Amino acid sequence: MDLIEIIMNRRSIRKYKNNRVEEEKILILLKSAMYAPSAVNCQPWHFIVIDDRMIMKKIMEIHTSSRMLETASHVIVVCGDEKLHHGPGYWIADCGAATQNILLAAEALGLGSCWVGSYPRENRMTAFKELFGLPDNVQVFALVAIGYPDQIKGKPERFKPERIYRNRWNNPY
């Protein structure tokens, strides 16, 4: 698959086969995340790889929209470090880029993935900080469910040319 196909075909997968994702593939996902762009190349991210079913159950109790973890092989927790970022708020965009790289790398490897948001929900961020034992300067940005997909999703049409402008607002492209 070429990159454009990977981008266009990627979907949020919420049902996974009962197959464990190989550690080599998890490391490729993490390496891909760390090659994301970041402001002034500060790379303010940390990652927690979870494969413990009890921890996944606790995550599902905290975040009610994370039921896909019942069948996921792994969860990658994407964290932003406020001591490493370029300035206030930059860690958010940087972690978003790292998360997107995980999603695209998963698609390229034949894996399914689903972005499960934490930021900016303070209640989730606080509960996850406690669950994972994070220091004060580290925030949970997102969780990414990973596994071998047990569902096939079609490609919807998402291109909306009416949302593209040339040179200024309301000047159609």
Q: Which domain holds residue 128?
A: 3-163
**What pLDDT digit, counting tens, does each position of 43-82 carry?**
999 999 999 999 999 999 999 999 999 999 999 999 999 9
**Domain annotation covers residue 173:** no
pTM for the full model? 0.95
25-54 pLDDT per residue, tens = 999 999 999 999 999 999 999 999 999 999
Alpha helices in 35-89 (DSSP H): 53-62
- Has residue 30 been placed in a domain? yes
**Angle 23-25-28 from CA coordinates, rounded to 5°:** 115
Instruction: Say how far apart CA 120 and CA 100 lie, in whole Å.
Output: 17
Q: Which of 110, 21, 14 is nearest to 73 (CA)?
A: 21
How many domains is the chain partitioned into structurally? 1
Tell me whether residue 168 is in a domain. no
170 occurs within a structural domain: no
Residues 150, 1, 73, 100, CA torsion sign: negative
CATH number of domain containing 89: 3.40.109.10
